[in-house]
Structure 1
Protein backbone atom coordinates (compact mmCIF):
# COMPACT_ATOMS: atom_id res chain seq x y z
CA UNK A 1 0.00 0.00 0.00
CA UNK A 2 1.39 3.39 -1.05
CA UNK A 3 1.00 5.93 1.80
CA UNK A 4 -1.04 9.10 1.35
CA UNK A 5 0.81 12.17 2.66
CA UNK A 6 -1.04 14.99 4.36
CA UNK A 7 0.51 18.45 3.97
CA UNK A 8 2.70 18.08 7.07
CA UNK A 9 3.54 14.37 6.77
CA UNK A 10 7.18 13.47 6.10
CA UNK A 11 8.23 11.26 3.24
CA UNK A 12 8.73 7.60 4.11
CA UNK A 13 12.25 6.20 3.63
CA UNK A 14 13.02 5.65 -0.06
CA UNK A 15 13.66 1.97 0.68
CA UNK A 16 9.88 1.59 1.06
CA UNK A 17 9.24 2.41 -2.61
CA UNK A 18 7.54 -0.33 -4.60
CA UNK A 19 9.91 -2.90 -6.02
CA UNK A 20 10.56 -4.27 -9.48
CA UNK A 21 7.86 -6.94 -9.19
CA UNK A 22 5.12 -4.34 -8.64
CA UNK A 23 3.13 -2.59 -11.33
CA UNK A 24 4.78 0.73 -10.46
CA UNK A 25 8.41 0.15 -9.45
CA UNK A 26 9.81 3.13 -7.59
CA UNK A 27 6.47 4.58 -6.47
CA UNK A 28 6.89 5.79 -2.90
CA UNK A 29 3.92 7.94 -1.90
CA UNK A 30 1.03 10.11 -3.07
CA UNK A 31 -0.26 13.50 -1.97
CA UNK A 32 -2.61 16.29 -2.93
CA UNK A 33 -0.06 19.09 -2.63
CA UNK A 34 2.93 20.15 -4.73
CA UNK A 35 4.32 22.92 -2.57
CA UNK A 36 7.83 24.24 -3.36
CA UNK A 37 8.89 23.31 0.18
CA UNK A 38 7.75 19.73 -0.47
CA UNK A 39 9.73 19.68 -3.73
CA UNK A 40 12.90 20.89 -2.01
CA UNK A 41 12.55 18.20 0.64
CA UNK A 42 11.86 15.54 -2.01
CA UNK A 43 14.88 16.27 -4.18
CA UNK A 44 17.17 16.32 -1.17
CA UNK A 45 16.04 12.76 -0.41
CA UNK A 46 16.25 11.36 -3.95
CA UNK A 47 12.50 11.64 -4.62
CA UNK A 48 10.72 13.34 -7.53
CA UNK A 49 7.09 13.90 -8.65
CA UNK A 50 5.72 12.31 -11.81
CA UNK A 51 2.01 12.12 -12.57
CA UNK A 52 -0.64 13.13 -15.10
CA UNK A 53 -3.60 15.49 -15.01
CA UNK A 54 -6.41 14.00 -12.97
CA UNK A 55 -4.06 11.97 -10.76
CA UNK A 56 -2.84 12.82 -7.27
CA UNK A 57 0.79 13.90 -6.99
CA UNK A 58 2.80 10.68 -7.23
CA UNK A 59 6.27 10.60 -5.67
CA UNK A 60 8.98 8.25 -6.98
CA UNK A 61 12.40 6.94 -6.03
CA UNK A 62 13.36 4.18 -8.49
CA UNK A 63 16.06 1.58 -7.98
CA UNK A 64 18.32 1.57 -9.93
CA UNK A 65 18.67 5.27 -10.70
CA UNK A 66 19.66 6.68 -14.09
CA UNK A 67 22.50 9.22 -13.88
CA UNK A 68 24.84 10.98 -16.26
CA UNK A 69 28.38 11.53 -15.04
CA UNK A 70 29.64 14.67 -16.85
CA UNK A 71 33.09 13.12 -17.35
CA UNK A 72 31.41 10.22 -19.21
CA UNK A 73 29.32 12.33 -21.60
CA UNK A 74 29.55 10.89 -25.12
CA UNK A 75 30.05 13.33 -28.00
CA UNK A 76 29.40 11.51 -31.29
CA UNK A 77 31.21 12.53 -34.46
CA UNK A 78 28.08 14.20 -35.84
CA UNK A 79 27.36 16.05 -32.59
CA UNK A 80 30.97 17.25 -32.44
CA UNK A 81 30.57 18.73 -35.93
CA UNK A 82 27.38 20.47 -34.81
CA UNK A 83 29.02 21.86 -31.68
CA UNK A 84 31.93 23.21 -33.70
CA UNK A 85 29.46 25.04 -35.92
CA UNK A 86 27.61 26.42 -32.87
CA UNK A 87 30.87 27.74 -31.39
CA UNK A 88 31.97 29.24 -34.71
CA UNK A 89 28.77 30.86 -35.99
CA UNK A 90 27.40 34.03 -34.28
CA UNK A 91 23.80 33.04 -35.10
CA UNK A 92 23.98 30.38 -32.39
CA UNK A 93 23.67 31.23 -28.69
CA UNK A 94 23.39 29.33 -25.43
CA UNK A 95 21.45 31.27 -22.82
CA UNK A 96 20.88 30.40 -19.17
CA UNK A 97 17.57 31.27 -17.45
CA UNK A 98 16.42 33.56 -20.26
CA UNK A 99 12.79 32.45 -19.82
CA UNK A 100 12.42 29.47 -17.51
CA UNK A 101 8.60 29.10 -17.70
CA UNK A 102 8.75 29.24 -21.52
CA UNK A 103 11.22 26.35 -21.55
CA UNK A 104 8.92 24.32 -19.32
CA UNK A 105 5.95 25.03 -21.57
CA UNK A 106 7.97 24.07 -24.65
CA UNK A 107 8.92 20.78 -23.00
CA UNK A 108 5.25 20.15 -22.24
CA UNK A 109 4.01 21.02 -25.73
CA UNK A 110 6.65 19.29 -27.88
CA UNK A 111 5.33 15.93 -29.20
CA UNK A 112 7.33 12.84 -28.19
CA UNK A 113 7.33 9.51 -29.97
CA UNK A 114 5.33 6.91 -28.06
CA UNK A 115 3.99 9.42 -25.54
CA UNK A 116 0.49 10.84 -25.33
CA UNK A 117 -0.03 14.03 -23.37
CA UNK A 118 2.45 15.37 -20.84
CA UNK A 119 3.26 15.07 -17.17
CA UNK A 120 4.30 18.75 -17.13
CA UNK A 121 0.97 20.07 -15.90
CA UNK A 122 0.10 23.66 -15.05
CA UNK A 123 0.71 22.87 -11.37
CA UNK A 124 4.15 21.48 -12.21
CA UNK A 125 5.01 24.65 -14.15
CA UNK A 126 3.88 26.85 -11.25
CA UNK A 127 5.78 24.83 -8.62
CA UNK A 128 9.07 24.66 -10.53
CA UNK A 129 8.82 28.32 -11.51
CA UNK A 130 8.67 29.09 -7.79
CA UNK A 131 11.86 27.08 -7.35
CA UNK A 132 13.41 29.02 -10.23
CA UNK A 133 12.58 32.34 -8.59
CA UNK A 134 14.31 31.03 -5.46
CA UNK A 135 17.43 30.19 -7.49
CA UNK A 136 16.90 26.42 -7.20
CA UNK A 137 15.82 25.61 -10.78
CA UNK A 138 17.42 26.62 -14.06
CA UNK A 139 17.01 26.45 -17.81
CA UNK A 140 19.70 26.09 -20.47
CA UNK A 141 18.49 27.29 -23.86
CA UNK A 142 19.68 26.91 -27.44
CA UNK A 143 18.99 29.94 -29.65
CA UNK A 144 19.52 30.42 -33.38
CA UNK A 145 18.95 33.72 -35.15
CA UNK A 146 17.20 35.09 -32.07
CA UNK A 147 14.75 32.18 -31.77
CA UNK A 148 14.72 29.61 -28.96
CA UNK A 149 15.00 26.27 -30.77
CA UNK A 150 15.75 23.89 -27.90
CA UNK A 151 16.61 23.62 -24.27
CA UNK A 152 16.29 21.84 -20.96
CA UNK A 153 15.43 22.59 -17.36
CA UNK A 154 16.15 21.06 -14.00
CA UNK A 155 16.69 21.58 -10.31
CA UNK A 156 20.00 22.36 -8.62
CA UNK A 157 20.94 22.22 -4.94
CA UNK A 158 24.51 22.39 -3.70
CA UNK A 159 26.74 20.55 -6.18
CA UNK A 160 23.96 18.47 -7.72
CA UNK A 161 21.84 18.93 -10.85
CA UNK A 162 18.58 17.07 -11.34
CA UNK A 163 17.58 16.98 -15.00
CA UNK A 164 13.86 17.18 -15.68
CA UNK A 165 13.03 17.54 -19.38
CA UNK A 166 14.38 18.67 -22.76
CA UNK A 167 12.86 19.84 -26.02
CA UNK A 168 14.10 20.43 -29.55
CA UNK A 169 12.48 22.29 -32.44
CA UNK A 170 15.55 21.73 -34.61
CA UNK A 171 17.87 18.73 -34.95
CA UNK A 172 20.29 18.45 -32.00
CA UNK A 173 18.99 21.65 -30.36
CA UNK A 174 18.42 19.93 -27.01
CA UNK A 175 21.76 18.09 -27.26
CA UNK A 176 23.51 21.45 -27.72
CA UNK A 177 21.96 22.71 -24.49
CA UNK A 178 22.87 19.49 -22.67
CA UNK A 179 26.43 19.59 -24.00
CA UNK A 180 26.82 23.17 -22.76
CA UNK A 181 25.45 22.20 -19.35
CA UNK A 182 27.79 19.21 -19.15
CA UNK A 183 30.79 21.36 -20.09
CA UNK A 184 29.85 23.90 -17.42
CA UNK A 185 29.44 21.17 -14.79
CA UNK A 186 32.82 19.71 -15.76
CA UNK A 187 34.46 23.10 -15.22
CA UNK A 188 33.07 23.14 -11.69
CA UNK A 189 33.85 19.46 -11.05
CA UNK A 190 30.22 18.44 -10.56
CA UNK A 191 30.22 14.67 -10.47
CA UNK A 192 26.66 13.66 -11.30
CA UNK A 193 23.45 14.65 -13.10
CA UNK A 194 20.30 12.89 -11.95
CA UNK A 195 18.35 11.59 -14.97
CA UNK A 196 15.75 9.72 -12.89
CA UNK A 197 14.75 6.90 -15.27
CA UNK A 198 16.48 4.92 -18.01
CA UNK A 199 15.92 5.89 -21.64
CA UNK A 200 17.82 4.79 -24.74
CA UNK A 201 18.43 8.45 -25.60
CA UNK A 202 20.20 9.13 -22.30
CA UNK A 203 22.15 5.88 -22.56
CA UNK A 204 23.41 6.92 -26.00
CA UNK A 205 24.84 10.07 -24.41
CA UNK A 206 26.64 8.20 -21.65
CA UNK A 207 23.93 7.82 -19.03
CA UNK A 208 23.94 4.68 -16.88
CA UNK A 209 22.09 3.15 -13.98
CA UNK A 210 23.49 2.96 -10.46
CA UNK A 211 21.99 1.43 -7.29
CA UNK A 212 19.65 3.78 -5.43
CA UNK A 213 21.74 3.46 -2.26
CA UNK A 214 24.82 4.74 -4.14
CA UNK A 215 22.80 7.60 -5.62
CA UNK A 216 21.39 8.64 -2.24
CA UNK A 217 24.83 8.44 -0.61
CA UNK A 218 26.28 10.77 -3.25
CA UNK A 219 23.24 13.03 -3.05
CA UNK A 220 23.58 13.56 0.69
CA UNK A 221 27.15 14.78 0.26
CA UNK A 222 26.51 16.89 -2.84
CA UNK A 223 23.47 18.86 -1.66
CA UNK A 224 25.26 19.81 1.58
CA UNK A 225 28.04 21.59 -0.33
CA UNK A 226 28.04 25.24 -1.50
CA UNK A 227 26.28 25.83 -4.83
CA UNK A 228 28.15 26.42 -8.06
CA UNK A 229 27.61 29.50 -10.29
CA UNK A 230 24.97 29.62 -13.04
CA UNK A 231 26.50 31.98 -15.59
CA UNK A 232 27.84 30.56 -18.83
CA UNK A 233 27.43 30.71 -22.60
CA UNK A 234 28.35 28.67 -25.65
CA UNK A 235 32.07 29.25 -25.11
CA UNK A 236 32.05 26.35 -22.60
CA UNK A 237 31.49 24.00 -25.55
CA UNK A 238 35.15 24.46 -26.53
CA UNK A 239 36.01 22.21 -23.58
CA UNK A 240 34.13 19.33 -25.19
CA UNK A 241 35.34 19.71 -28.75
CA UNK A 242 38.95 20.66 -28.07
CA UNK A 243 38.96 23.89 -30.01
CA UNK A 244 39.11 27.63 -29.38
CA UNK A 245 35.85 29.42 -28.60
CA UNK A 246 36.92 32.32 -30.79
Structure 2
Protein backbone atom coordinates (compact mmCIF):
# COMPACT_ATOMS: atom_id res chain seq x y z
CA UNK A 1 0.00 0.00 0.00
CA UNK A 2 1.05 3.60 -0.56
CA UNK A 3 0.35 6.14 2.18
CA UNK A 4 -0.24 9.87 2.27
CA UNK A 5 0.73 11.90 5.35
CA UNK A 6 -3.00 12.41 6.03
CA UNK A 7 -3.75 8.67 5.94
CA UNK A 8 -0.73 8.00 8.13
CA UNK A 9 -2.01 10.43 10.77
CA UNK A 10 -5.47 8.88 10.57
CA UNK A 11 -3.93 5.49 11.28
CA UNK A 12 -2.24 6.81 14.40
CA UNK A 13 -5.50 8.42 15.51
CA UNK A 14 -7.29 5.06 15.53
CA UNK A 15 -4.45 3.12 17.15
CA UNK A 16 -2.56 1.52 14.25
CA UNK A 17 0.85 2.27 12.76
CA UNK A 18 2.77 1.25 9.60
CA UNK A 19 5.91 -0.81 9.19
CA UNK A 20 7.93 -2.38 6.37
CA UNK A 21 9.51 -5.82 6.57
CA UNK A 22 12.92 -4.25 5.92
CA UNK A 23 14.51 -1.15 4.37
CA UNK A 24 14.45 -2.65 0.85
CA UNK A 25 10.83 -3.81 0.91
CA UNK A 26 8.59 -1.20 -0.77
CA UNK A 27 5.44 -2.61 0.83
CA UNK A 28 3.97 -1.24 4.05
CA UNK A 29 1.52 -2.92 6.40
CA UNK A 30 -0.53 -1.73 9.36
CA UNK A 31 0.21 -3.03 12.85
CA UNK A 32 -2.39 -3.24 15.64
CA UNK A 33 -0.81 -4.97 18.66
CA UNK A 34 -3.06 -6.80 21.11
CA UNK A 35 -0.92 -5.31 23.90
CA UNK A 36 0.64 -1.87 23.55
CA UNK A 37 3.85 -0.55 25.04
CA UNK A 38 3.49 2.81 26.80
CA UNK A 39 5.63 4.96 29.07
CA UNK A 40 3.69 6.32 32.06
CA UNK A 41 4.96 9.88 32.13
CA UNK A 42 5.24 9.78 35.92
CA UNK A 43 6.95 6.38 35.91
CA UNK A 44 10.28 6.80 34.13
CA UNK A 45 12.93 4.95 36.13
CA UNK A 46 16.22 6.77 36.44
CA UNK A 47 18.91 4.72 38.16
CA UNK A 48 21.75 6.24 40.16
CA UNK A 49 24.19 5.37 37.40
CA UNK A 50 22.01 6.99 34.73
CA UNK A 51 21.51 10.11 36.86
CA UNK A 52 25.28 10.32 37.30
CA UNK A 53 25.79 9.84 33.57
CA UNK A 54 23.30 12.65 32.76
CA UNK A 55 25.12 14.99 35.17
CA UNK A 56 28.62 14.28 33.90
CA UNK A 57 28.34 13.27 30.22
CA UNK A 58 28.54 16.78 28.82
CA UNK A 59 26.18 15.90 25.97
CA UNK A 60 24.09 18.62 24.33
CA UNK A 61 20.36 17.95 23.89
CA UNK A 62 18.24 19.76 21.31
CA UNK A 63 14.89 19.32 19.57
CA UNK A 64 14.05 19.47 15.86
CA UNK A 65 17.57 20.49 14.86
CA UNK A 66 18.27 17.41 12.70
CA UNK A 67 15.08 15.42 12.28
CA UNK A 68 16.14 13.45 9.23
CA UNK A 69 19.54 12.80 10.81
CA UNK A 70 17.78 11.11 13.73
CA UNK A 71 15.56 9.07 11.40
CA UNK A 72 18.61 7.96 9.42
CA UNK A 73 20.44 7.14 12.66
CA UNK A 74 17.53 4.92 13.68
CA UNK A 75 17.52 3.20 10.29
CA UNK A 76 21.30 2.65 10.20
CA UNK A 77 21.21 -0.88 11.54
CA UNK A 78 21.29 -4.35 10.02
CA UNK A 79 17.55 -4.90 10.46
CA UNK A 80 15.19 -1.93 10.19
CA UNK A 81 11.49 -1.45 9.38
CA UNK A 82 12.09 2.10 8.08
CA UNK A 83 12.01 1.99 4.27
CA UNK A 84 12.33 4.91 1.83
CA UNK A 85 8.58 5.63 1.79
CA UNK A 86 8.34 5.83 5.58
CA UNK A 87 11.43 8.05 5.70
CA UNK A 88 9.76 10.42 3.24
CA UNK A 89 6.43 10.34 5.10
CA UNK A 90 8.03 11.12 8.47
CA UNK A 91 9.92 14.02 6.91
CA UNK A 92 6.64 15.42 5.54
CA UNK A 93 4.99 15.03 8.94
CA UNK A 94 7.91 16.88 10.50
CA UNK A 95 7.55 19.69 7.99
CA UNK A 96 3.86 19.99 8.89
CA UNK A 97 4.58 20.00 12.64
CA UNK A 98 3.28 16.48 13.32
CA UNK A 99 6.64 14.78 13.93
CA UNK A 100 9.54 15.82 16.12
CA UNK A 101 13.03 14.72 17.05
CA UNK A 102 15.21 15.05 20.10
CA UNK A 103 18.94 14.98 19.38
CA UNK A 104 21.90 14.13 21.61
CA UNK A 105 25.28 15.48 20.57
CA UNK A 106 28.84 15.20 21.78
CA UNK A 107 31.08 18.06 20.65
CA UNK A 108 28.69 18.75 17.78
CA UNK A 109 28.48 15.15 16.58
CA UNK A 110 25.04 13.50 16.52
CA UNK A 111 25.45 10.46 18.78
CA UNK A 112 21.88 9.56 19.67
CA UNK A 113 18.27 10.58 19.52
CA UNK A 114 14.61 9.67 19.33
CA UNK A 115 11.79 10.75 17.05
CA UNK A 116 8.04 10.37 16.98
CA UNK A 117 4.67 11.52 15.71
CA UNK A 118 2.40 13.92 17.60
CA UNK A 119 -1.38 14.16 17.65
CA UNK A 120 -2.92 16.35 20.33
CA UNK A 121 -1.41 15.29 23.65
CA UNK A 122 -0.22 11.90 22.32
CA UNK A 123 3.40 11.24 21.39
CA UNK A 124 3.97 8.11 19.31
CA UNK A 125 7.60 7.13 19.80
CA UNK A 126 8.87 5.62 16.56
CA UNK A 127 12.51 4.76 17.09
CA UNK A 128 15.72 5.77 18.81
CA UNK A 129 19.41 5.18 18.32
CA UNK A 130 22.67 5.45 20.22
CA UNK A 131 26.29 5.73 19.14
CA UNK A 132 27.64 6.26 22.66
CA UNK A 133 26.95 4.48 25.93
CA UNK A 134 23.62 5.55 27.45
CA UNK A 135 22.87 8.12 24.70
CA UNK A 136 19.42 6.62 23.98
CA UNK A 137 18.59 6.42 27.70
CA UNK A 138 19.56 10.06 28.11
CA UNK A 139 17.42 10.96 25.08
CA UNK A 140 14.44 9.18 26.64
CA UNK A 141 14.92 10.92 29.99
CA UNK A 142 14.94 14.34 28.32
CA UNK A 143 11.99 13.34 26.14
CA UNK A 144 9.85 12.21 29.08
CA UNK A 145 10.67 15.41 30.92
CA UNK A 146 9.71 17.51 27.88
CA UNK A 147 6.46 15.62 27.34
CA UNK A 148 5.50 16.14 30.98
CA UNK A 149 6.32 19.83 30.92
CA UNK A 150 4.51 20.56 27.66
CA UNK A 151 1.16 18.93 28.45
CA UNK A 152 1.31 15.43 26.95
CA UNK A 153 -0.78 12.61 28.36
CA UNK A 154 0.27 9.55 26.34
CA UNK A 155 3.73 8.31 25.36
CA UNK A 156 3.22 5.33 23.06
CA UNK A 157 6.23 3.03 22.52
CA UNK A 158 4.31 0.58 20.28
CA UNK A 159 6.02 -2.53 21.67
CA UNK A 160 7.52 -3.29 25.07
CA UNK A 161 11.18 -4.31 24.97
CA UNK A 162 13.35 -5.37 27.90
CA UNK A 163 15.32 -2.12 27.47
CA UNK A 164 12.18 0.03 27.73
CA UNK A 165 10.78 -2.04 30.60
CA UNK A 166 13.98 -1.44 32.59
CA UNK A 167 13.26 2.30 32.29
CA UNK A 168 9.64 2.03 33.41
CA UNK A 169 7.63 1.25 30.27
CA UNK A 170 4.65 -1.09 30.63
CA UNK A 171 2.18 -3.00 28.47
CA UNK A 172 -1.57 -2.28 28.40
CA UNK A 173 -4.40 -4.07 26.55
CA UNK A 174 -5.56 -2.71 23.20
CA UNK A 175 -8.92 -1.55 24.59
CA UNK A 176 -7.33 0.48 27.38
CA UNK A 177 -4.80 1.93 24.95
CA UNK A 178 -7.55 3.12 22.61
CA UNK A 179 -9.43 4.77 25.46
CA UNK A 180 -6.24 6.55 26.54
CA UNK A 181 -5.54 7.46 22.92
CA UNK A 182 -8.96 9.03 22.37
CA UNK A 183 -8.59 11.16 25.49
CA UNK A 184 -5.06 12.25 24.58
CA UNK A 185 -5.78 13.12 20.95
CA UNK A 186 -8.68 15.31 22.05
CA UNK A 187 -6.37 17.31 24.33
CA UNK A 188 -3.83 19.89 23.23
CA UNK A 189 -0.09 19.92 23.95
CA UNK A 190 2.89 21.78 22.48
CA UNK A 191 6.06 19.74 22.01
CA UNK A 192 8.08 22.80 20.99
CA UNK A 193 7.02 25.05 23.88
CA UNK A 194 10.04 26.83 25.40
CA UNK A 195 11.10 25.09 28.61
CA UNK A 196 14.26 24.77 30.68
CA UNK A 197 15.86 21.33 30.44
CA UNK A 198 19.08 21.38 32.42
CA UNK A 199 20.57 18.05 33.45
CA UNK A 200 19.92 18.78 37.13
CA UNK A 201 16.33 19.83 36.42
CA UNK A 202 15.57 16.71 34.39
CA UNK A 203 16.91 14.46 37.14
CA UNK A 204 15.07 16.32 39.89
CA UNK A 205 11.70 16.36 38.15
CA UNK A 206 11.83 12.70 37.12
CA UNK A 207 13.00 11.40 40.49
CA UNK A 208 10.27 13.36 42.29
CA UNK A 209 7.56 11.42 40.44
CA UNK A 210 9.05 8.03 39.63
TM-score (norm 1): 0.78
Which residue does 2:163 correspond to in 1?
A: 201
Sort the Cα spacing of 1:153 and 1:239 in 2 relative to 1 into closer, same or farther, 3 A.
same
How many corresponding residue pairs? 203
Superposition deviation, residue 77 in structure 1: 1.3
Sort the Cα spacing of 1:183 and 1:166 in 2 relative to 1 into closer, same or farther, 3 A.
same
Long gaps (5+) in structure 2: 206-210
Moved over 4 A (4+): 231-234
Which deviates the most, 209-218 or 182-191? 182-191
Superposition deviation, residue 192 in structure 1: 2.3
Superposition deviation, residue 66 in structure 1: 0.7
Q: Secondary structure at the match of 2:75?
A: helix
Q: Is the 8 A contact 2:26 2:83 kept in 1?
A: no
Which residue does 1:63 correspond to in 2?
A: 34
Q: Is the 8 A contact 1:97 1:138 kept in 2?
A: yes
TM-score (norm 2): 0.90
Superposition deviation, residue 55 in structure 1: 5.6
Larger Rg: 1
Sort the Cα spacing of 1:236 and 1:219 in 2 relative to 1 into closer, same or farther, 3 A.
farther
Q: Secondary structure at the match of 1:210?
A: strand
Q: Secondary structure at the match of 1:142?
A: strand
Distance 2:194 2:103 in 1: 11
Choose the corresponding residue for 2:89, options 101, 106, 127. Answer: 127
Q: Is the 8 A contact 1:163 1:193 kept in 2?
A: yes
Q: Which has the higher contact order (CA 8 A, sep 6+)?
A: 2
Q: Secondary structure at the match of 1:242?
A: helix
Superposition deviation, residue 226 in structure 1: 1.9
Choose the corresponding residue for 1:97, options 64, 69, 76. Answer: 64
Q: Is the 8 A contact 2:147 2:191 kept in 1?
A: no
RMSD, aligned α-carbons: 1.8
Sort the Cα spacing of 1:173 and 1:158 in 2 relative to 1 into closer, same or farther, 3 A.
same
Q: Deviations over 1:111-168 (max 9, x none)?
A: 3xxxx43111111110110000000000000011111110010001111100000001
